[in-house]
């Protein structure tokens, strides 16, 4: 832990602010994943009835004002773990906030100071690349919270059996709301465009693990929603059928990108039993859907995506 981190942590101890102390220690300048004991303490705090969640969230958001990519990325990882494992009231509070992570212009310039007298650690030379990762990661976490705000539940937290029953039971109007929410969150995650070569340190590797777990749950939900839609497809109105066809085409493209993400996980040595196996969508199915749409009469359709 750096001298600055030690001084900051000590100041929080003196003021009795143990949440800020845990945040400071979890998100210090050491290029390792946030220490489990500090993250576990914060997770435990989210379950405490006397803990003000807004203070914890504010502390994490303020930590992203740091100029170091290490601190910012570890803060995002810590926040992500709280979204995954903390009490749901933490998720609810974050989703209810009007402000979100604002890192669009974040750039760690510590590796480009031009001062030859400073012997900067090698990881500071990664400032530009990791700053880009931080910006994309923050965008995904914002999308994750926005999805919760729209749907009132987190696709990644709901029990698999329950969410499967819910998604397979949605009517077409509900699907028209659910599918875009899933698409947006998945697109934001895949839009991070992580490569195997970038997984060169403990911070980004920890983030990738959390993203991997999210994508497993998100795509399972996406697949269930698409199965439901396809079962209704041949009863849709022509306009709704066209919308459904576009949803399916988007699904096929996304599936291929997800398979590329799974390949990265496999190359990183993830257990193959934890990596879902995906078959490519048969071309014959898309052809059948298109043939039905182009030959569809305006009469006889039972369902529509939008209310008239």
**CATH classification at residue 209:** 1.20.58.150
- Residue 102 shares a structural domain with residue 192: no
Q: Cα 60 to the chain's mean position, in Å?
A: 17
Same domain, 170 and 302: yes
Indicate the number of domains in the chain.
2
Q: Which residues of 215-229 are buried (b: 16+ CB within 10 A; e: fewer)?
A: bbbbbbbbbbbbebb
Task: Evaluate if residue 124 carries a pLDDT over 80.
Answer: no
| Shared domain check, 143 and 197 | no
- Number of Cβ within 10 Å of residue 105's Cβ equals 7
pTM for the structure as a whole: 0.88
CB half-sphere exposure, 74, CA atoms < 13 A: 27
Residues 112, 74 share a domain: yes
Of the three residues 109, 127, 151, the one that is the final residue of a domain is: 151
Give the residue-averaged pLDDT of 291-302. Answer: 73
State whether 92 and 208 are in the same domain.
no
- Could you say which of 121, 151, 181 is where a domain stops? 151
CA pair distance 289, 232, nearest whole angstrom: 12
Domain harbouring 25, CATH code: 1.25.40.90
Within this chain, do residues 283 and 144 fall inside the same structural domain, yes or no? no
pLDDT confidence of 117, banded at 50, 70, 90?
A: very low
Same domain, 1 and 67: yes
Range of the domain at 118: 1-151
Residue range 130-183, pLDDT digits in tens = 999 999 999 999 999 999 999 999 999 988 777 778 898 999 999 999 999 999
Same-domain status, 4 and 147: yes
pLDDT for the residue 234: 94
**Exposed, middle or buried, 242 (CB in 10 Å: 0-12/13-18/19+)?**
middle
Report yes or no: 101 and 76 within 8 Å, Cβ to Cβ: yes
Whether the pLDDT of residue 10 is over 60: the answer is: no
DSSP result, the chain: --HHHHHHHHHHHHTT-HHHHHHHHHT-SSSSPPPHHHHHHHHHHHT-TT--HHHHHHHHHHHTTSS-HHHHHHHHHHHHHHHHHS-HHHHHHHHH-S-----TT----GGG---TT----GGGGGHHHHHHHHHHHHHHHHHHHHHHHHHSS-TTTS-HHHHHHHHHT--HHHHHHHHHHHHHHHHHHHTT---GGG--SHHHHHHHHHHHHHHHHHHHHHHHHHHHHHHHHTTB-HHHHHHHHHHHHHHHHHHHHHHHHHHHHHHTT--GGGS---PPPPHHHHHHHHHHHHT--SSS--B-SS--
Residue 273 confidence (pLDDT): 94
- Decide if pLDDT at 280 tops 90: no
CA 17 to chain centre: 29
Say what the pLDDT of residue 121 is. 55
Domain C-terminal end among 117, 151, 185: 151
Q: Residue 125: its pLDDT value, please?
A: 61
For the beta carbon of residue 150, count every other beta carbon within 10 angstroms: 15
Which residue has 């987190």 as its token pair?
154
Proportion of the chain above pLDDT 90, given as a percent: 74
Tell me the C-alpha distance between 8 and 25, whole Å.
9
Q: Domain check: are 168 and 214 in the same one?
A: yes
Residues 103 and 228 in one domain: no
The reported pLDDT for the residue numbered 114 is 39
Please tell me the distance from the alpha carbon of residue 22 to that of residue 12, in angstroms, as a whole number.
Answer: 9
Contact in structure between 55 and 19 (CB atoms under 8 Å): yes
Tell me, yes or no, whether 197 and 254 share the same domain.
Answer: yes
Q: Are residues 90 and 128 in the same domain?
A: yes
């Amino acid at each position: 832990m750096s001298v600055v981190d030690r001084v900051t942590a000590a100041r929080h101890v003196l003021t009795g602010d143990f949440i800020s102390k845990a945040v400071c220690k979890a998100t210090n300048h050491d290029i390792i994943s946030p220490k489990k004991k500090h993250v576990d303490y914060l997770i435990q705090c989210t379950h405490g009835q006397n803990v003000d969640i807004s203070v914890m969230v504010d502390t994490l958001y303020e930590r992203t004002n740091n100029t170091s990519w290490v601190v910012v990325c570890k803060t995002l990882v810590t926040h992500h773990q709280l979204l995954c494992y903390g009490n749901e009231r933490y998720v609810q509070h974050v989703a209810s906030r009007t402000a979100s992570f604002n890192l669009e212009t974040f750039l760690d310039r510590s590796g480009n100071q031009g001062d030859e007298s400073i012997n900067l650690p090698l990881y500071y030379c990664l400032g530009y690349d990791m700053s880009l990762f931080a910006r994309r990661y923050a965008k995904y976490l914002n999308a994750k919270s926005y999805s919760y705000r729209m749907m009132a539940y987190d696709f990644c937290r709901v029990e698999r059996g329950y969410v499967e029953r819910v998604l397979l039971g949605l009517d077409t109007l509900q699907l028209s709301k659910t599918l875009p929410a899933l698409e947006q969150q998945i697109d934001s995650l895949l839009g991070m465009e992580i490569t195997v070569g970038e997984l060169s340190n403990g911070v980004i590797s920890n983030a990738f693990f959390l993203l991997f777990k999210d994508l497993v749950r998100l795509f399972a939900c996406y697949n269930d929603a698409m199965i439901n839609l396809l079962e209704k497809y041949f009863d849709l109105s022509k306009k709704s059928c066209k919308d459904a066809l576009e949803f399916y085409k988007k699904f096929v493209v996304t599936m291929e990108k997800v398979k590329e993400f799974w390949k990265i996980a496999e190359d990183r040595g993830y257990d193959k039993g934890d990596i879902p196996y995906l078959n490519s969508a048969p071309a014959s199915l898309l052809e059948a859907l298109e043939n039905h749409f182009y030959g569809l009469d305006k009469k006889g359709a039972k369902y529509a995506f939008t209310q008239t």
